[in-house]
């Protein structure tokens, strides 16, 4: 009987020790944790768009700037370019047909003026992408442009999790 109790106690302690272990994050060569793949589900689109809009407007308010509003034409231009960057497998501002950001905005029928475009190829969330854009002067200037009144924001996610983010501003 004692032998059975000892085996049961040893097995319980071994299982308890396994359950208490927390897996350590994998580290990159730079000593920072490797990014985790951010999968966007079918019901997440509106949450992502409004989380980005709210955060951009909070940053603009803190800087004394007026808020921007979502614009469906600018969003259509952003969505087209996100998908096209994936097809080209490179983050750049020109479409596979040679189109510029101005061309894409005009094609959607946007009545205002194109101001700027930020793009990103990443596995990171929209807020991590926004933080990266805010850390660079040229991409920050698109988001914080005092003339901006409208925003388009979209992405395309590949099956492996890679995200192609595009943000377009206009006035």
Spatial distance between the Cα atoms of 3 and 131, rounded to a whole number of angstroms? 59
Please report, for residues 6, 14, 164, the alpha-carbon distance to residue 1 in angstroms, rounded to integers and kept in the order given: 9, 20, 63
Q: Is 112:171 a contact under the CB 8 Å cutoff?
A: yes
Going by DSSP bridges, is the β-strand pair 69-70/150-157 parallel, antiparallel, or unpaired? parallel
- Answer whether residue 146 shows pLDDT above 70: yes
- Answer whether residue 137 shows pLDDT above 90: yes
Residue 121, pLDDT score = 94
Structure tokens at 163: 């995200």
Q: At 74, give phi and psi (nearest 5°).
A: -65, -35
Q: Tell me which H or E stretch contains 161.
A: none
- Please tell me the least confidently modeled range out of 7-16, 47-56, 118-127, 141-150: 7-16
- Answer whether residue 19 shows pLDDT above 90: no
- Answer whether residue 162 shows pLDDT above 50: yes
CB atoms within 10 A of CB 59: 15
SS3 4: helix
Position with higher pLDDT, 6 vs 130: 130
Predicted TM-score (pTM) of this structure: 0.79
Most confident of 18-27, 86-95, 143-152: 143-152
Residue 7, pLDDT score = 45
Residue 149, pLDDT score = 98
Position with higher pLDDT, 99 vs 35: 99
Q: Is 80:104 a contact under the CB 8 Å cutoff?
A: yes
Residue 3, pLDDT score = 55
What does the H/E/C string look like for 88-124? HCCCCCCCCCCCCHHHHHHHHCCCCCEEEEEEEEECC
pLDDT tens for 67-120 read 999 999 999 999 999 999 999 988 989 898 999 999 999 999 999 999 999 999
Position with higher pLDDT, 102 vs 12: 102
**Helices 45-62 and 126-134 meet at what angle, rounded to 10?**
30
Residue 25's pLDDT band (boundaries 50, 70, 90)?
low
68: nearest Cα among 101, 116, 35, 15: 116
């Amino acid at each position: 009987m004692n032998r059975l109790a000892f085996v049961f106690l040893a097995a319980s302690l071994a299982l308890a020790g396994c359950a208490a272990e927390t897996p350590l994050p994998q580290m990159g060569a730079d000593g920072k944790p490797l990014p985790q793949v951010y999968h966007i589900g079918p019901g997440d689109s509106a949450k992502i768009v409004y989380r980005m809009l709210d955060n951009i407007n909070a940053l603009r308010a803190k800087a004394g700037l007026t808020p921007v509003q979502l614009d469906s034409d600018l969003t259509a231009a952003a969505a087209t370019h996100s998908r096209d960057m994936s097809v080209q497998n490179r983050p750049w501002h020109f479409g596979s047909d040679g189109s510029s950001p101005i061309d894409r905005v005009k094609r959607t029928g946007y009545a205002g003026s194109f101001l700027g475009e930020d793009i990103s190829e990443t596995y990171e969330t929209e807020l991590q992408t926004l933080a990266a854009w805010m850390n660079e002067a040229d991409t920050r200037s698109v988001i914080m442009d005092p003339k901006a009144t409208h925003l388009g924001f979209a992405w395309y996610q590949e099956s492996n999790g890679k995200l192609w983010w595009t943000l377009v501003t206009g006035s």
